[in-house]
């Protein structure tokens, strides 16, 4: 009996020590001691929006269907058809710079070397936290080379290149201008007719309004001219300086041990209580089964005796 008690106490103590050790290890993982850790100033540099739109054009040769080729050029079936495409191509390049001044100078040299036009420049932040935004327009044939050149500057963080067809937009603008020009010519022809002063003044106002709309469309269509063909490269350079900082204070062992004990004691008592309740339920179940079994046998024997008496 004494040996059984000693064994039970030893098992209970071992269980408590194991639970305490698990809680102590969890404390170290959840709240590690403070130590030097690298931290970086600045972020990865968010992109920016550019109101200025750059468009380019390309000649695309496409082999038409036989019927279309015969209708267009009866003598040369199968001749290629040239499509004049208008498109917008934009690259968004973001990088982190440990040597901000040198990397900025490298980007500007690359822009000058590729004949780029700086269309937007925005610089913000103090030393150690500076961010540079540049929008550069480059000729379509130099677009890929310029993107590769600026990607080599700093540490690349984000790169995306988008190309969208703008042929329909160009055709819509040209059609609107043609309609407005026809309306203007018709209104000018009406000036040759006689009318009251009020009607002539209203006609002049209408002609002036149409002329202003034509000028506005002319500015929009001018962006599609071959002399203005450019592709857009948006550059974001973020200064990034690594410096060691403390991640947190050092927690003394006695504080960790006290927290572990405060959690382990009630938890262990609840577990022991649950185990004792389960054991008591098991013992009660065994006792009930042992008491019920003889009663069931007696009932069975009584039934057998009554059945023999009836026979």
Output the domain CATH number for residue 112.
3.30.70.260
Alpha carbons 251 and 272: distance in angstroms, whole number: 31
Residue 115 shares a structural domain with residue 128:
yes
Examine the domain organization and report whether 153 and 107 are in the same domain.
yes
Residue 220, SS3 per DSSP: helix
Q: How many domains does the chain have?
A: 2
Top pLDDT among 34 and 38 is at: 34
Count of positions (residues) in the chain: 311
**303/311 Cα distance (integer angstroms):** 13
Say if residue 107's pLDDT is above 90: yes
Structural domain including 195 reads 168-220
Q: How far apart are CA 246 and CA 38, in angstroms?
A: 9
Please provide the distance, in angstroms rounded to a whole number, between the alpha carbons at the two ends of the chain: 56
Is 120 part of any domain?
Answer: yes
Two tokens, residue 229: 């063909």
Q: Which residues pair with 60 in a beta bridge?
A: 83
126 in the same domain as 235: yes
Does 30 reside within a domain?
A: no
Q: What is the largest CA-CA distance in the chain?
A: 139
> By the 8 A CB rule, do 44 and 89 touch?
no
Within this chain, do residues 93 and 111 fall inside the same structural domain, yes or no? yes
CA 277, 281, 286 angle in degrees (round to 5)? 150
Is 198 found in the same domain as 94? Answer: no
Give yes or no: residues 104 and 146 share one domain.
Answer: yes
Residues of the chain with pLDDT > 70, as a percent, come to: 84
> Strand (E) positions, 125-261?
131-138, 155-165, 231-239, 242-246
DSSP 252: P
Give Cβ neighbours of residue 76 (< 8 Å, ≥ 6 apart): 69
pLDDT bracket for residue 38 (50, 70, 90) = very low
Question: Contact 58/141 with Cβ under 8 angstroms?
Answer: no
Position 23 in a domain: no
Same domain, 127 and 231: yes
Looking at the fold, whether 127 and 212 belong to one and the same domain comes out as no
Write the pLDDT tens digit of every residue in 128-160. Answer: 889 999 999 999 999 999 999 999 998 888 899
Closest CA to 130 of 99, 176, 174: 99
Q: Is residue 148 domain-shared with residue 126, that is, in the same domain?
A: yes
- Asked if residue 140 is part of any domain, the answer here is yes
Q: pLDDT: is 275 or 92 the higher one?
A: 92
Q: Is 267 within the bounds of a domain?
A: no
- Give buried/exposed letters for 49-86 (b at 16+ CB in 10 A, else e): ebeeebbbbeeeeeebeeeebeeeeeeeeeeeeeeeeb
Residue 227 CB-density burial (10 A; 0-12 exposed, 13-18 middle, 19+ buried):
exposed
Task: Report pLDDT digits (tens) over 250-274.
Answer: 778 888 888 888 998 889 888 888 9
Contact present, 92 and 158 (Cβ < 8 Å) = yes
Cβ(237)–Cβ(104) under 8 Å? Answer: yes
Closest CA to 182 of 207, 200, 219: 207
In order of 43, 71, 123, 191, 252, the CA distances from 157 in angstroms are 10, 53, 19, 63, 40
Confirm whether 54 is domain-assigned: no
Do 139 and 236 reside in the same domain of the chain?
Answer: yes
The tokens 């001044």 sit on which residue? 101
At residue 114, the pLDDT reads 94
173 or 234, which is more confident:
234
The two tokens of residue 281 are 């339920």
Same domain, 126 and 193: no
Region 219-243: mean pLDDT is 81
Q: What is the pLDDT of residue 112?
A: 94
Question: For residue 148, is it within any domain?
Answer: yes
CA-CA distance, 98 to 240, in Å (whole number)?
A: 5
The verdict on residue 136 lying in a domain is: yes
Same domain, 155 and 228: yes
């Amino acid at each position: 009996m004494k040996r059984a008690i000693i064994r039970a106490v030893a098992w209970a103590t071992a269980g408590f020590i194991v639970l305490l050790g698990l809680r102590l290890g969890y404390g170290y993982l959840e709240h590690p001691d403070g130590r030097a850790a690298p931290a970086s100033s600045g972020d990865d540099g968010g992109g920016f929006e550019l109101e200025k739109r750059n468009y380019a054009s390309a000649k695309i040769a496409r082999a038409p269907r036989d019927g279309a080729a015969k209708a267009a050029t009866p003598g040369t079936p199968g001749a290629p058809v040239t499509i004049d495409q208008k498109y917008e191509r934009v690259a968004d390049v973001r990088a982190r710079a440990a040597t901000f001044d040198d990397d900025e100078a490298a980007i500007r040299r690359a822009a000058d070397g590729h004949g780029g036009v700086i269309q937007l420049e925005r610089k913000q932040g103090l030393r150690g936290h500076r961010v540079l935004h540049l929008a550069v327009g480059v000729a379509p044939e130099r677009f890929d080379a310029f993107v590769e050149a600026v990607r080599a500057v700093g540490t690349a963080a984000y790169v995306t290149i988008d190309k969208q067809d703008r042929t329909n937009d160009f055709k819509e603008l040209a059609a609107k201008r043609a309609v407005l020009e026809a309306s203007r010519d018709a209104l000018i022809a009406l000036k040759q007719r006689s009318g009251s002063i009020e009607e002539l003044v209203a006609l002049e106002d209408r002609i002036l309004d149409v002329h202003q709309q034509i000028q506005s469309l002319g500015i929009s269509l001018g962006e599609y001219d071959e002399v203005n063909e450019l592709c857009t490269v948006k550059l974001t350079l973020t200064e990034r300086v690594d410096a060691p900082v403390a991640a947190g204070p050092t927690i003394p062992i006695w504080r960790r041990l006290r927290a572990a004990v405060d959690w382990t004691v009630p938890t262990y008592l609840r577990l022991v209580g649950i185990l004792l309740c389960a054991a008591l339920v098991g013992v009660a179940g065994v006792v009930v089964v042992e008491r019920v079994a003889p009663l069931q046998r007696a009932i069975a024997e009584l039934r057998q005796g009554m059945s023999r008496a009836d026979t």
